[in-house]
A = this chain, B = another copy of it.
Amino acid sequence: MPEYLPTAPYRGTRDFLPAEMSVRSQVFGTLYEVLERHGFLRYDGPLLEPAEIYEAKSGEEIANQQLYTLTDRGGRRLALRPEMTPTVARIIAGNAGSLQFPVRWYSHPNCHRYERPQRGRVREHWQVNADIFGSDSANCEIEIFELIHGMLTALGASEDMFLVRANDRQLLTAALTGVVGVTGEQLGPVFSLVDRWEKYEAERLAADAAEIGLSDKQFARLGEVLGAGPALLDELPSEVKQASHLVRVLESGSAGLVRFDPLIVRGLAYYTSTVFEVFDTSPENNRALFGGGRYSDLAGLFTAQQIPGIGFGMGDVTLMDFLATHDLTPRPRSEVDVVAIPVTEDLYDAARTVVTRLRAAGLRASVPLELRKLGKELSRADRAGARAVVIVGQEEWDEGNVTVRGLATREQRQVAMDSAPAAVAELLSD
């Protein structure tokens, strides 16, 4: 039996120490800012939800295998939310009477799934969710694609670093039935085959297709359809295209934001037309970063009111991998801007007076908690990323002065206590 409890976090969860947390705060702070510039409003909801809101709608895998559940003392079966959509559906349904639709909403919850930990898969992850609820206009699609570009470019990405691949399940259905000759019964299995298309070898795909009942010729034709890219549109009847939001996007001035790709279907059951995935274009990290889509009836579990919507959930793990791959990870912020160092114990009150002034000027400032030799304290301040110190000595203080010193330049000068914030700010702006 170990004498002490282990210090590692529970498997698949993470501790964020200040340096990493500083990076995350910068990244997510940038995303919040972009979201709000695009008119999206933040909301939040409970971590615990009644288990049935997941069991009724989510994919089987999540409900049965991946959900963390518990029963409270009142016998209520609860789940740790694995995703935000059921929560926001519940909130929207409960407040539909007072909301002015359409609404643009975002959130940043931690979500839990019981997964085998591996690259890009954790048991607790943080997910930025952005959705437009209550509109069935193709303008929503355009805004969502604009938002994705706005978010990634604000993080420093250039347009060639990522690709938004989009499809419309209605278009794909028309191609599968009209061009490949897939029957209504075969549609579901073929969709799921398309979802595996890029992950599996050709032989296995052919075997799966045969099992569904596709002929060799149909399988070949399916390959042509899926590989056709935007050219597939030319083969589809115009009444199908006229009904498609994605086609409207491709005909608008925003067409450049997205690439039509018949291969994108998305596993989740609730998407009804537009679906999309954002891919990293780097050969080192060639994978889907996140995705989303349109649903025609968000809150059907909770209300008769049919509320359409479109949105996406961007997980923190793949986002951070993307930034690292492209060398876009911001550096941790320094711990503090300036340290005010009292030379003796008696000067602590004086140093605190200085620090109060520095903070009032918007600077991040601290006093050492324990008195050390000046040289040691200068090294500590340097390691904390401070670029200046204010040294408070008895004789200067008696005259109303302090010494301001740049840590890089090692230049120092005496200034009146009242001028210390300005003198420090000047050093920091160099």
Binding site for B on A (CB under 8 A): 4-11, 13-18, 21-22, 25, 36-39, 41-50, 52-53, 56, 68-70, 72-73, 76, 78, 80, 90-91, 93-95, 100, 102-105, 110, 112, 114, 123-124, 132, 135, 137, 139-140, 142-143, 146, 150, 252-254, 301-304, 335-336, 348-349, 352-353, 356, 359, 362-370, 380, 383
Contact = CB atoms under 8 A, between A and B. Distances in A.
A70 B72 contact: no
A142 B352 contact: yes
Contacts of A53: 5
A43 B21 contact: yes
B22 A42 contact: yes
A383 to B, nearest CB: 7
A53 B6 CA distance: 10
Contact of A73 (B49, B104, B105, B114): B114
B303 A15 contact: no
Contacts of A80: 47-48, 80
Contacts of A139: 348, 367-370
Nearest to A360: B37
Contact of A41 (B21, B68, B142): B21
Given A56-B5, A352-B254, A369-B143, A45 B16 contact: yes
A20 to B, nearest CB: 9
A189 to B, nearest CB: 29
Contact of A94 (B15, B70, B94, B370): B15
Contacts of A72: 68, 114
Contact of A46 (B7, B124, B366): B124
A335 B301 CA distance: 28
A349 B15 contact: no
Contacts of A380: 100
A251 to B, nearest CB: 10
Contact of A37 (B43, B91, B362): B362
A42 B114 CA distance: 27
24 contacts: A5-B56, A5-B90, A7-B94, A10-B76, A14-B46, A15-B43, A15-B44, A15-B90, A16-B44, A21-B42, A21-B44, A37-B363, A37-B364, A39-B335, A48-B80, A48-B112, A48-B123, A69-B70, A100-B380, A137-B370, A143-B367, A252-B348, A253-B349, A253-B353
B369 A45 contact: no
Contact of A18 (B42, B252, B364, B366): B42
Contacts of A22: 41-42
A36 B363 CA distance: 9
A90 to B, nearest CB: 5
Lowest 4 A-B CB distances belong to which pairs? A7-B94, A39-B366, A13-B46, A253-B349
Nearest to A68: B70
A4 B37 contact: no
B46 A18 contact: no
Nearest to A88: B15
Given A48-B112, A253-B352, A364 B14 contact: no
A102 B370 contact: yes
A132 B16 contact: no
A78 B349 contact: no
A21 B107 CA distance: 10
Instruction: Please indicate which of the listed interface residues A17, A50, A123, A146 has the most CB atoms of chain B within 10 Å of its own CB.
Output: A17
A93 B7 contact: yes
Nearest to A25: B42
Contacts of A4: 93, 301-304
A254 B39 contact: no
A78 B10 contact: yes
B43 A370 contact: no
A93 B6 CA distance: 9
